[in-house]
Structures are given as structure tokens and as C-alpha cells.
Chain A
Amino acid sequence: MSQNLVILCAAGMLVTAYLMVGQKALFVAIRLYGLQSILLGVVAVAMAFTDHRPHLLESAALTIGLKGVFIPWFLMRTIDRIGIHREIEPFVNTPSSLLICLGLTVVGYRVSTGLAAGGEGAAHHVIGVSLSMLLMGLFLMVTRRKAVTQILALLTIENAVFLVALGATSGMPLVVELGISFDVIVAVLVLGILVHRIVDRFESMDVSRLSKLKG
């Protein structure tokens, strides 16, 4: 039962990742990220009960609280403050993006069978999903212009790494979890400030304009 729950949530995460790729509205993309993080928290809770690893509950709480609620709220506030165009402007159009992501998913799933823990069962799906999400996160980073969308892509990659840690190992120790969480917070804060600065200087969040800085 809980195995199925884990697989369902993992699949849900993959779906949110796909929706993020297809999404044009910035706020919706942020909310999708929040949903993705909450699903990750549910995976952790389910694993905590099936494998009797209560410390996973703590990291689940951390995940849901921090990534599911705080970071989306903070990002939306940042966007409100700088008052920019709330549309995502990708380099690659949506249908092609989705097709490429499909290819990346195939690659991710195929590779997951090569891992020792990824041969069968729930772990197979979890690792497959997380590797696909990792590649998709990278792809999002490459194709999105705005600094905020790149932060979202980075956070997606972070979620993917967390998921692979859950699937392949029995979850990381709490200290590591805490460390990573703080890293994520600091990264988001710093990136938030950086976005302010970029907008200040260039009156846009378009990072492709940064290339004008080179000599």
C-alpha cells in the first residue's frame, strides 16, 4: 500500500516537473514547485512508516515547511516587489521542450536500471523519476531566460537529488538534511538579492544580457 503511495507521489513529482516545463505563468510555476516539494515530503513520510525510519519524518517536515511553503512564498514576494513581467520566456518553444524532456526521461529511467539499488520495485521508479527530474532541471536552466526561473530549475534539481537519496540509500542523516536545507535557504536568499541587483542594473531579469559584461 505505502509502496504504491511512494510510486504515486514520485510520479506526481514527475508530472509537476513536466507541468513546469509547459507552464508560461511564473506564479503557477512557483506553486507547482511547492506542490512538488510537498509530494516529496509525502514520499519521505511513507518511507518513514514502511521502513520504520522515524528520523525521515523530521526531514519530511523540514521539506514541506521549507520548500513547500516558505520558498514559494518568498519567491512570489520577490517577484511582486520588483514588479516584473510575470511570463516565462523560454528559448525553446513548449512542444519541443516537452519532447526533449520526454527523451531525457527515457535516458534517466534507462540509467536507473544500471544502479545497484535501482533494479526493481519502488526504488526503480523513485530513482528513475529523480534522474529524469535532474536532467529536466538542467534543461530548464539552459532554456529559461529569467533569473527566477533558473532558481526554480535549481530547486527542482535539489528536489531530485533529495529523492535519489531517499530511493537509493535509506535517507541521509538529519545533520546532512539540515545542512542541505540551510544551503537551499541561503541559496534562495542570495539569488533573490542577486535578482534584485540584476533588475537594478539591467532593468530586466534576463540573464542572457549578462553576456554584455564580457570584454
Chain B
Amino acid sequence: MSGALDPAAWLPAALALRLGSIGLALGLARRPAASRWAALGGSCLASLLTGALAWSVLATGRAVGGSLLSHTASGFVLSYSVDRLSAWFLLVLALLGIPIAMYSLGYLGHGILARRSPFVAVGFSVLMGAVEMVFAADGIVGFLFAWELMTLANAALVATEHEVGETRRAAFLYLAMSHVATGCLFAGFLILAAAAGSFSFTHVLAGAPVSGARRHAVFLLFLAGFGVKAGVIPLHVWLPEAHPAAPSSISALMSGVVIKTGIYGLFRVCAFGLGPPHPGWGVLILACGGVSAVLGVLYALMQHDLKRLLAYHSIENIGIILLGLGAGMTALSSGRAELAAVGIAASLYHVLNHAVFKGLLFLGAGGVVMATGTRHIEDMGGLAKRMPWTALFFLVGSAAISGLPLLNGFVSEWLLFQAFLFGFQRSPEALVRFLFPVAGALLALTSALAAACFVKAFGVTFLALPRGEGAAKAHESPWVMLAPQAFLAAMCVVLGLVPGFVLEELRGVAASLPGVRPAPEMVRGLFAIAPGPGRFDHLTPPLVALAVVLAAGLAGALSLRAGYRVRRAPTWGCGGELSARTEYTATAFSKPLMMIFSAIYRPTREVQTVGAAYFPREVRYRAEIEPTFERFVYGPLTRGVLAAAERMKVIQAGSLHAYLAYVIALVVSLVLLLWWRG
């Protein structure tokens, strides 16, 4: 193969296309609409190319690589390589990038200031390109460069509405935490590069150039570095601030793809780049995953800002992905290649699923926020009548993220359950026998709480009567914003009903990773989910779907036969009058859960009556949960850093003489060092 048909040319072509469209868009910045079309259209085309490249790598199994630019004088070559793991993440990027770009065409025209929209479109394009480079880089220099470019573009996009103080704070928090994270990555990569004597991933990440305690230290550095980007608890605090602050289409991209770069890093480096994983590593990842999943969903339950709620669900889903990775690594460390393949496949499947349904939910939330002018779900309500299509797609997304059968969220969570059960049954190690059931129980709790949370989110937002003026006047989004949601909702269904198709590719991805050997029985036909060998039964979602449809039909027929008559009458209001004020609110809905988990939330509640004791004119209720991590982890940390800076200020005295004294002290001590050594 050669020329345009050679997949090796597609990635440079996609990047060139992005660059060209960015240049064009910047040139047209005075005409916002044309500029948006240039940037987003170019991004769409480039994502198509990326998707095609990813697909060809997944289908043929042959890695594609090449050099993007080289500098002969310094011998520096910026090269890329797309193997199956990269291709999987690139596929996710392309699959979500195209609908989001299309949605942005409509959203950026109305949702934000028109003057600013070209820059958001350009920022989006830069971010897409940077993430693409992160997934495709095959050297430390290119990876870190793309990583930082991604961080900067993302921070700029978060700060789009920089007039709002909270937004500036969110962007700053994101930048600060990303800096620390990148510092960890730099340290880790430099240790590895020094040991391997090369900057190329093929040398650095093949086997383990370091061993013993240094290997553990490097693992922890990478875990911290990638964990911040992925939003793993307790490194997550930037995420619920930054996601809501960004424009909704950017939130969708951040949650769907950008935080997955952290997961990609954990896969590429922590799990498969540092030699065979130590048993402790898998346990640590499992613990991080379990904590992130449960706490993420618990905090999400208490949020009444729609986008913040979705942001906490991102943390939860990252937790689920890590549970899969942790199961895989634990299995790998005890040499169970087939079990590892199930965990890895579940994890990677969930990466795709989360991108699809969370992208969908954020796009829907963007439409809702644009239509109502508020992010607070207590001020919404009754939107199902006013925005029927958005409501339908949001419902599909909610069902998918809750892990309900027939949709994609169910498949990956089911696979993960199978991994835990399979591991429990087959592994004699006490550690696995203890940990896997616990992790499975946490996963089950998470799924149930997620379902509760989305009952709240969907019900309070879309059902009953509007509680605010914005909600009463809301209109359906334009088709250019609905079509991408329709596509993603359809993907939720397809990925849920035809898992075999995805599992076939995932088997290839898993097989390409060192130490992982997927069982041949993993894929049992197009429609089945089968975890592995043995007596574990496989599941065929279309059959389940058929059963559900039959059962529903049967129930319908029975109810018809029973002769129930449809009677239209006003809802009984206990003798009072029903209005939007008497609706079930989000606070009320989540209150029982707040009480059950009060040990975790540590809520403060305050009831205040205004007026006479027995005939109050007004009752005010306020409930807050304690921001545990912000207060007890980051509070002391911030204060410590500030106190240290205060002390260090003495050195930075602003006195010329002091600075000169530092110079002479340094010179004399260097001279004395020379003397002492020579």
C-alpha cells in the first residue's frame, strides 16, 4: 500500500488538517460563524481520518508508525506509533469527537458570547489534536509536549467565561493540579529514561529498566500523575469545579475523552510499561477504583447543579474503569492471563461506554442549560413536554450510565462482575479471594446508587411542572444539536445489543498487551457477552431484550384483559392544591440517602422558622454536606504551602545586596568545593 491509502499517512494528515483549519479559523476570527465552521469542520474531517486509522489498526492488528518532524542538527525526531491500545483510545476520541464538533456548531452559536465562540472552536480543535498526539506519541518528549498542550488548551477552554470568579478559580485549580501531576510524570519519565538510556517508549517501556524500590517509586509517581488527570479520588478536586465551568460541549469532551488520557497513561505505563506488576499495585488500583466509584456516586447524589452532578459521575465511572484495570493487574501479578484479559476488556469496554453515554448526557445537559438559563435542577422541571427529544436522549443516557440491561453500561459492568466472580472462583490466593468479592460488592452498590441518582436527575429535571421561569419558557434545541445526541443514544443501544462486535476488537487489544492472553471463548458470537472459559454462562442481550419486550407485551395484554379502564382525572392533592411548589424536589429525593450515609457526608442541617412559632410565615431549610477532601486534605496542604512560601519570602528580599551576597556565597562555596575535591 502506498500514498493516500496507506494508513501511516493518515495521522500526519489528520494533524495537518487540524492545523490548517485552526489557521483558517483564526484568520476568520472576525466572522464568528465562518470561523466556527472552519475549525469544527476541519476537526470533524480530521477525526474521521483518525477513526479510520484506528479502525484499520484494530482490524489488521498491525501497528502503524512514522515520524511527524525531524531535526537533523540535533538528531531530534518526533515520531508516533499507533498500536492496538492507542488505536482503541483513538477510536473513542474519534467516535465522540465527531458528534461533539457537530453539536458545537449549534451550541457555540447560542450558548456563549458570539465574539468568543471562534476561540472556543479553535481551542476545541487544539485540544482534540493534543489528545490525539498523547494517544499516538511513542516517545517521552512527544508525549509530554502533547500532554502539556492538552492541559493548556483545556485550561483555556475551562476559563471561557472568565468574568465569573468561580470559573477563574476552577481554571486555576485545574492548572495548579495539572502542574503538580506533570511534575510527577516528568520525574517518573526521567528516571526511566536515565535508566534505559533512551527517550523512546520502545526502550523505556519495554520491560523494566529500574527495579526494586525505585520501580515502586516510579509506579507511585505515575499513579499520582495520571491519577490527577483521570480524576481519581483523592486527586479529583479539580474535576467537579472544571467540568461545570467549561462550555457544555467542552465538558462532554473533557469527561468523555480528556480524562481518559489519564487512564491511557495508567494502561500504557503503570500496568504494562513497568514490567510485570507487583501484587500490591493491582490492590492499590482496585482500592483507588473502589473509593472513587462509591464516593463519586455518593457525592453526585448530593449535587443539585446538573453539570456538577455529571462531573461527579465521571469520577464514579473512572472508578469503575480502574476496578477493571485493578482486577486485570491483580490477575496479571499472579500469572492468570485469561482472568486478566477479562478485567482489561471490561475496563476498556467501559472507557468506550463512558465516553458515549457521558458525552450524550453532557450534550443533553448543555441543551437544557442553554434553554433554561440555569444549571440548578431545582429550578427546572417539566422539560419533557417542552424538550421531548432532549428528554428522550437524556433518558437513554441515564439508563445506560445506571447500568440497566440492554444498554451499553450494563455490558461492561456485567463483564466486570464476571471478572470478579470468575477470579473469586478460580484463584486460590487469599488476597484475590478476599478482595474481589469486596470490589464486586462496591461495584454493585455504585450501580444502584447511580440509578438512584439518575432517577433524581431525570425526574426533577424533566418531569412534573416547571419550577422556574426559565424552565417554563424553554424550547427544544435545534436539530444540529439533537442529531449528535441521537447518534450517541443509538450508539448506547448498539453497543449494548451487539457486544460481540466490540469484544472481538477488545480481544485483539488485550492479546497485544504483555502477559495478557484472552481465552478463545471470550467472544461467542456477535450477540453474546462471555467472560471466559469454564462454566460461566454467557449472556445474550438481544435475547434479554426479546424477553423484556415479550414480558412487557404480556403484562399489557393481561392488563387489557383485566378490563382496566383509562380514566382521566386530576391528581389527588390531599385536599390541597397541587402546584410546582408541592413537587418532589431534588433535595427531598436525596435526603433519605443523605441520612443513610450521614457518616460519610457529615451533613449540617438548619431549619429556620420566620414568624410566630405555631403559624410560621416561612420555613427555611438548609442542608450542606461536608467537603471532606477539600477541608481535611487540601485545606492543610494549601495552608502548608502558603506558610512555606511566607517563610521563603525572606530569601526574596528585594535587596540588591542580598542578591549579590547569594552570588558571592555561591561562588565561594563552589571554589571551596573545588579545593576540597582537588
Q: Which of B272-280, B627-635, B657-665 contacts A (4 or more CB under 8 A)?
A: B657-665
A187 within 8 A of B: no
Which among B653, B667, B668 is the interface contact of A211 at CB below 8 angstroms?
B653
B604 within 8 A of A: no
Q: Given A207-B656, A208-B655, A210-B654, check contact A139 B674 (CB 8 Å).
A: no
A201 within 8 A of B: no
A99 within 8 A of B: no
For the complex, give the distance between the alpha carbons of A91 and B671 in Å: 24
A104 within 8 A of B: yes
Cross-chain contact B667 with A138 (CB below 8 angstroms): yes
* Contact pattern, A 133-172, Cβ under 8 Å of B = 1, otherwise 0: 0010011011101000010000000000000000000000
Cross-chain contact A208 with B656 (CB below 8 angstroms): yes
Cross-chain contact B657 with A111 (CB below 8 angstroms): no
Cross-chain contact B657 with A135 (CB below 8 angstroms): no
For the complex, give the distance between the alpha carbons of A139 and B655 in Å: 15
Cross-chain contact B672 with A107 (CB below 8 angstroms): yes
Q: Given A91-B657, A208-B656, A210-B654, check contact A142 B678 (CB 8 Å).
A: no
User: Separation in Å of the A107 CB from the closest CB of chain B?
Assistant: 6
A138-B663, A208-B655, A211-B655 given; name 12 further pairs at CB < 8 Å.
Answer: A111-B674, A111-B675, A135-B671, A138-B660, A138-B664, A142-B657, A142-B660, A142-B661, A150-B656, A207-B656, A208-B656, A211-B654
Which residues of chain A in 194-215 are interfacial with respect to chain B, using CB atoms and an 8 Å cutoff?
A: 207-208, 210-211, 213-214
In the complex, which residues of chain B have a beta carbon less than 8 angstroms from the beta carbon of A142? 657, 660-661, 664
A86 within 8 A of B: no
A110 within 8 A of B: yes
For the complex, give the distance between the alpha carbons of A26 and B678 in Å: 40
Chain B residue nearest to A107 in the complex (CB): B671
Number of interface residues of A (CB under 8 A): 21
Which among B654, B657, B672, B674 is the interface contact of A143 at CB below 8 angstroms?
B657
For the complex, give the distance between the alpha carbons of A107 and B670 in Å: 11
In the complex, which residues of chain B have a beta carbon less than 8 angstroms from the beta carbon of A138? 660, 663-664, 667
Which among B654, B656, B664, B671 is the interface contact of A139 at CB below 8 angstroms?
B664
Cross-chain contact B664 with A207 (CB below 8 angstroms): no
Interface residues, chain B, CB within 8 Å of chain A?
A: 653-657, 660-661, 663-664, 667-668, 671-672, 674-675, 678
Q: Given A139-B664, A142-B664, check contact A111 B656 (CB 8 Å).
A: no
CB-based closest 7 A-B pairs: A214-B654, A211-B654, A138-B664, A211-B655, A142-B660, A142-B661, A114-B678
For the complex, give the distance between the alpha carbons of A14 and B503 in Å: 83
For the complex, give the distance between the alpha carbons of A23 and B246 in Å: 66
User: Separation in Å of the B663 CB from the closest CB of chain A?
Assistant: 7
* A-B CB contact pairs (8 Å), 19 listed: A91-B657, A107-B671, A108-B671, A110-B675, A111-B674, A114-B674, A135-B664, A135-B668, A135-B671, A138-B663, A138-B667, A141-B664, A142-B657, A143-B657, A208-B656, A210-B654, A211-B654, A213-B654, A214-B654
For the complex, give the distance between the alpha carbons of A150 and B671 in Å: 23
In the complex, which residues of chain B have a beta carbon less than 8 angstroms from the beta carbon of A210? 654-656
Chain A residue nearest to B670 in the complex (CB): A111
For the complex, give the distance between the alpha carbons of A9 and B668 in Å: 25
Chain B residue nearest to A153 in the complex (CB): B660
Q: Given A107-B668, A211-B653, check contact A114 B660 (CB 8 Å).
A: no
Q: Does more than half of chain A's interface fall in helix, strand or loop, or is it mixed? A: helix
Chain B residue nearest to A139 in the complex (CB): B664
In the complex, which residues of chain A have a beta carbon less than 8 angstroms from the beta carbon of B674? 111, 114
In the complex, which residues of chain B have a beta carbon less than 8 angstroms from the beta carbon of A214? 654
In the complex, which residues of chain B have a beta carbon less than 8 angstroms from the beta carbon of A207? 656-657
In the complex, which residues of chain B have a beta carbon less than 8 angstroms from the beta carbon of A141? 657, 660, 664
Chain A residue nearest to B655 in the complex (CB): A211
For the complex, give the distance between the alpha carbons of A108 and B675 in Å: 10
User: Separation in Å of the A127 CB from the closest CB of chain B?
Assistant: 13
Chain A residue nearest to B663 in the complex (CB): A138
Chain B residue nearest to A147 in the complex (CB): B656
In the complex, which residues of chain A have a beta carbon less than 8 angstroms from the beta carbon of B660? 138, 141-142
Q: Given A110-B675, A111-B674, check contact A104 B668 (CB 8 Å).
A: yes
Chain A residue nearest to B671 in the complex (CB): A111
User: Separation in Å of the A84 CB from the closest CB of chain B?
Assistant: 18
In the complex, which residues of chain B have a beta carbon less than 8 angstroms from the beta carbon of A211? 653-656
In the complex, which residues of chain A have a beta carbon less than 8 angstroms from the beta carbon of B664? 135, 138-139, 141-142
For the complex, give the distance between the alpha carbons of A110 and B676 in Å: 11
In the complex, which residues of chain B have a beta carbon less than 8 angstroms from the beta carbon of A114? 674-675, 678
In the complex, which residues of chain B have a beta carbon less than 8 angstroms from the beta carbon of A104? 668
For the complex, give the distance between the alpha carbons of A141 and B672 in Å: 20
Chain B residue nearest to A134 in the complex (CB): B667
User: Separation in Å of the B341 CB from the closest CB of chain A?
Assistant: 59
Cross-chain contact B657 with A208 (CB below 8 angstroms): yes
User: Separation in Å of the B392 CB from the closest CB of chain A?
Assistant: 57
Chain B residue nearest to A137 in the complex (CB): B664
For the complex, give the distance between the alpha carbons of A170 and B655 in Å: 39
User: Separation in Å of the A208 CB from the closest CB of chain B?
Assistant: 6
User: Separation in Å of the B675 CB from the closest CB of chain A?
Assistant: 6
Which residues of chain A in 73-119 are interfacial with respect to chain B, using CB atoms and an 8 Å cutoff?
A: 91, 104, 107-108, 110-111, 114
In the complex, which residues of chain B have a beta carbon less than 8 angstroms from the beta carbon of A110? 675
In the complex, which residues of chain A have a beta carbon less than 8 angstroms from the beta carbon of B678? 114
For the complex, give the distance between the alpha carbons of A4 and B667 in Å: 31
User: Separation in Å of the A40 CB from the closest CB of chain B?
Assistant: 22
Chain B residue nearest to A131 in the complex (CB): B671
For the complex, give the distance between the alpha carbons of A150 and B678 in Å: 33
In the complex, which residues of chain A have a beta carbon less than 8 angstroms from the beta carbon of B672? 107
In the complex, which residues of chain A have a beta carbon less than 8 angstroms from the beta carbon of B653? 211
In the complex, which residues of chain A have a beta carbon less than 8 angstroms from the beta carbon of B655? 208, 210-211
In the complex, which residues of chain A have a beta carbon less than 8 angstroms from the beta carbon of B667? 135, 138
User: Separation in Å of the A212 CB from the closest CB of chain B?
Assistant: 8
For the complex, give the distance between the alpha carbons of A108 and B656 in Å: 24
In the complex, which residues of chain B have a beta carbon less than 8 angstroms from the beta carbon of A139? 664
Cross-chain contact B675 with A107 (CB below 8 angstroms): yes
* Contact pattern, A 9-51, Cβ under 8 Å of B = 1, otherwise 0: 0000000000000000000000000000000000000000000
For the complex, give the distance between the alpha carbons of A115 and B653 in Å: 36
For the complex, give the distance between the alpha carbons of A145 and B657 in Å: 8
In the complex, which residues of chain B have a beta carbon less than 8 angstroms from the beta carbon of A135? 664, 667-668, 671
Chain A residue nearest to B649 in the complex (CB): A214
User: Separation in Å of the B674 CB from the closest CB of chain A?
Assistant: 6
For the complex, give the distance between the alpha carbons of A183 and B308 in Å: 61
